């Protein structure tokens, strides 16, 4: 992609109300555009990153045998009456009435819809086990939408639902999804923790959350050096208070507790998995024929905050110059920066040659061919956060080398053209 054909408009300043660094950088890089409180458009640059995240999720879900579906965003209220969940969800549920006076909600989650599908589709134990998933827009009328797409009202979620004949099967499906999530978050390149969690309005028994570690995280997590890890929400009140005080005092020391010495960290929830049991299958009568009778199914549900992941990646990977995207989700594999190409034919020709060479080798390169100063090109490129910057200048041409700057640490190296592709292995 050439800058001249892209929509490459960065901002010097972020809006005053954008407190979080990821929010500020996403607006400044023109990745997202606000439309209303908690509602954003994804611009070409942001969408490329969002799509990369989606692809990693989809590939891993498919590898684990999950089947992709796409359910409607609009859901009849009557389904929610069957599970009596309207009250539980409260004012986060946004509803409306159609011309025939039927009531609907904008889907905040899809347990009811998938259970309705499965009570029609799953007839016998031979249809099991099954895990369906979708990547789709959710709407929750959050009380305090903030931090950009980190806590939006409209956001993109990957939600999956498993169906098994018995608890043993459900445990297996749950463990498989936990493993799949680890593959997904490893591939994205996150530093994350898995903690015990509260199952909230979704319901069920066992539940764990995946948190990207970042000081700006809204959740507080604790762990000992063995296998105990938990969201503080689950701890008893006195321990919770003690931890809150420590955080308020910026005290990073460990804390003594009945679970041993606990470390405290802040996290951003990017994934949440639940063993639901038969909460929905019983309320909506989802059963299959088994042993001459009907057997109520055991379900699990598994969410990933797809759009939140983009913001979380920035919270975990940035510096004072801008974003440093992990290479598996960056918008482009590298930036190509030509120095004063309008004045120098040889720079322009060399940049064009390297551009065509990279494209020919399936490297997704962003070539800044604008008539702009080197300072502007570098600061925009640092903001965008591609892992490498390849610099073409008269000086480098004379030396017969290419200069490569690694975005992460700004380390400069000189390489020959024939070594260029080895950067991307
Ligand atoms: P939170 O505690 O952050 O409000 P939740 O526990 O209500 O989230 P889940 O129902 O577990 O959310 O949804 C699955 C995933 O969807 C979450 O782990 C999170 O990554 C993402 N998510 C939830 N709410 C939002 C939101 N308002 N904006 C962006 N992503 C969200
Ligand atoms: Mg959750």
CATH number of the domain encompassing residue 107: 3.30.930.10
Rounded to whole angstroms, the Cα distance separating 173 from 236 reads: 30
82 CA → ligand 1 middle, Å: 24
Residues 372 and 288 grouped into a single domain: no
Residue 314 CB contacts under 8 Å (≥ 6 apart), including other chains: 21, 22, 25, 26, 323, 325, 385
Atom of ligand 1 nearest to the CA of 218: 3
| Residue to mutate (ligand 1; options 150, 204, 303, 315; most atoms within 8 A of CB) | 303
Cis peptide before 364 (omega within 30 of 0): no
Residues 307 and 375 grouped into a single domain: no
Domain contains 356? yes
Residues 244 and 339 grouped into a single domain: no
Say if CB 59 and CB 47 are below 8 A apart.
no
| Residue 379 backbone class (left: φ over 0; alpha: ψ -120 to 50; beta: rest) | alpha
**Three-class secondary structure of residue 114 per DSSP:** helix
- What number of other Cβ atoms are within 10 A of residue 295's Cβ? 17
Residues 150 and 14 grouped into a single domain: yes
Tokens (6 digits) for 260: 């041993």
Task: Count how many domains the chain has.
Answer: 2
Residue 381 CB contacts under 8 Å (≥ 6 apart), including other chains: 335, 337, 366, 368, 389
Domain contains 324? no
Tokens (6 digits) for 314: 């920035």
Atom of ligand 1 nearest to the CA of 153: 27
Residue 405 CB contacts under 8 Å (≥ 6 apart), including other chains: 388, 389, 391, 411, 412
Distance of CA 189 to the CA centre of its chain: 11
Question: How confident is the model at residue 425, as a pLDDT?
Answer: 84
Domain contains 276? yes
Last residue of a domain, one of 285, 319, 353: 319
Residues 125 and 221 grouped into a single domain: yes
Atom of ligand 1 nearest to the CA of 209: 18
CATH number, domain containing residue 406: 3.40.50.800
Atom of ligand 1 nearest to the CA of 157: 16
Residues 78 and 34 grouped into a single domain: yes
| Residue to mutate (ligand 1; options 272, 273, 306; most atoms within 8 A of CB) | 272
State which residues form the domain around 346: 334-424
Question: How confident is the model at residue 139, as a pLDDT?
Answer: 98
**Three-class secondary structure of residue 293 per DSSP:** strand
Closest to 107 measured CA to CA, from 136, 78, 150, 143: 136
Tokens (6 digits) for 144: 């305090």
Domain contains 397? yes
Which helix (DSSP H) or strand (DSSP E) does residue 233 occupy?
A: none
Domain contains 325? no
260 CA → ligand 1 middle, Å: 30
Residues 315 and 338 grouped into a single domain: no
Last residue of a domain, one of 268, 284, 319: 319
| Residue to mutate (ligand 1; options 308, 309, 310; most atoms within 8 A of CB) | 308
Alpha-carbon distances, residue 340 vs 358, 371, 390 (angstroms): 21, 7, 14
Say if CB 43 and CB 30 are below 8 A apart.
yes
Domain contains 327? no
Residues 345 and 299 grouped into a single domain: no
Residue with tokens 């292995």: 425
Which residue has the least CA distance to atom 14 on ligand 1?
A: 303
Say if CB 70 and CB 331 are below 8 A apart.
no
Question: How confident is the model at residue 261, as a pLDDT?
Answer: 94
The pTM (predicted TM-score) of the whole model is: 0.96
Residues 367 and 254 grouped into a single domain: no
Say if CB 164 and CB 296 are below 8 A apart.
no
Alpha-carbon distances, residue 130 vs 275, 300, 400, 418 (angstroms): 14, 11, 58, 49
Question: How confident is the model at residue 199, as a pLDDT?
Answer: 72
Domain contains 329? no
Say if CB 325 and CB 154 are below 8 A apart.
no
Residues 260 and 370 grouped into a single domain: no
Residue 16 CB contacts under 8 Å (≥ 6 apart), including other chains: none
Domain contains 133? yes
Last residue of a domain, one of 260, 284, 319: 319
Residues 296 and 339 grouped into a single domain: no
Rounded to whole angstroms, the Cα distance separating 258 from 132 reads: 40
Residues 291 and 346 grouped into a single domain: no
| DSSP helix, strand, coil percent of the chain (3-state; round to 5) | 35, 30, 30
Question: Which pLDDT tens digits describe the chain residue by residue (425 residues)?
Answer: 999 999 999 999 998 889 999 999 999 999 999 999 999 999 999 999 999 999 999 999 999 999 999 999 999 999 999 999 999 899 999 999 999 999 999 999 999 999 999 999 999 999 999 999 999 999 999 999 999 999 999 999 999 999 999 999 999 999 999 999 999 999 999 999 999 998 776 666 789 999 999 999 999 999 999 989 999 999 999 999 999 898 888 888 899 999 999 999 999 999 999 999 999 999 999 999 998 899 999 999 999 999 999 999 999 999 999 999 999 999 999 999 999 999 999 999 999 999 999 999 999 999 999 999 999 999 999 999 999 999 999 999 999 999 999 999 999 999 999 999 999 98
């Amino acid at each position: 992609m050439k800058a001249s054909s892209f929509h490459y408009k960065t901002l010097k300043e972020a809006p005053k109300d954008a407190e979080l660094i990821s929010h500020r950088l996403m607006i400044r890089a023109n990745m997202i555009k606000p439309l209303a409180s908690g509602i954003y458009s994804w611009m070409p640059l942001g969408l490329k990153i969002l799509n990369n995240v989606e692809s990693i999720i989809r590939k891993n879900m498919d590898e684990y045998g999950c089947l992709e579906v796409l359910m409607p965003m609009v859901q009849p209220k009557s389904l929610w009456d069957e599970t009596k969940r309207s009250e539980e969800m409260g004012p986060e549920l946004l509803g409306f009435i159609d011309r025939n006076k039927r009531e609907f909600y904008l889907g905040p989650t899809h347990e009811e819809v998938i259970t309705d599908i499965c009570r029609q589709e799953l007839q016998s134990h031979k249809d099991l086990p099954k895990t369906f998933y979708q990547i789709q827009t959710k709407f929750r009328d959050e009380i305090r939408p903030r931090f950009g797409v980190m806590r939006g009202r409209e956001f993109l979620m990957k939600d999956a639902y498993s169906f098994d004949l018995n608890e043993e099967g459900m445990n297996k499906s749950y463990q498989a999804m936990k493993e799949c999530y680890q593959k997904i978050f490893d591939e994205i390149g996150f530093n994350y923790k898995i903690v015990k969690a509260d199952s909230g309005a979704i319901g069920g028994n066992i539940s764990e959350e995946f948190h990207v570690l970042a000081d700006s995280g809204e959740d507080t997590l604790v762990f000992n050096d063995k296998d105990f890890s938990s969201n503080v929400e689950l701890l008893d009140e006195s321990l919770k208070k003690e931890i809150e005080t420590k955080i308020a005092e910026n005290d990073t020391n460990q804390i003594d507790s009945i679970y041993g010495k606990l470390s405290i960290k802040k996290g951003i929830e990017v994934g949440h998995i639940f063993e639901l049991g038969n909460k929905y299958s019983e309320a909506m009568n989802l059963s299959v024929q088994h042993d001459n009778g009907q057997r109520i199914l055991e379900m699990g549900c598994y969410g990933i905050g797809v759009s939140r992941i983009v913001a979380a990646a920035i919270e975990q990977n940035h510096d004072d110059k801008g974003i440093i995207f992990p290479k598996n989700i960056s918008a482009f594999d590298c930036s190509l920066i030509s120095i004063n190409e309008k004045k120098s034919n040889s720079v322009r020709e060399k940049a064009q040659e390297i551009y065509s060479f990279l494209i020919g080798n399936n490297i997704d390169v962003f070539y800044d061919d604008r008539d702009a100063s080197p300072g502007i090109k570098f600061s925009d490129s640092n903001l965008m956060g591609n892992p490498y910057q390849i610099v073409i200048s008269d000086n480098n041409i004379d030396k017969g080398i290419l200069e490569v700057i690694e975005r992460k640490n700004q380390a400069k190296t000189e390489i020959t053209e024939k070594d260029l592709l080895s950067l991307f292995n």
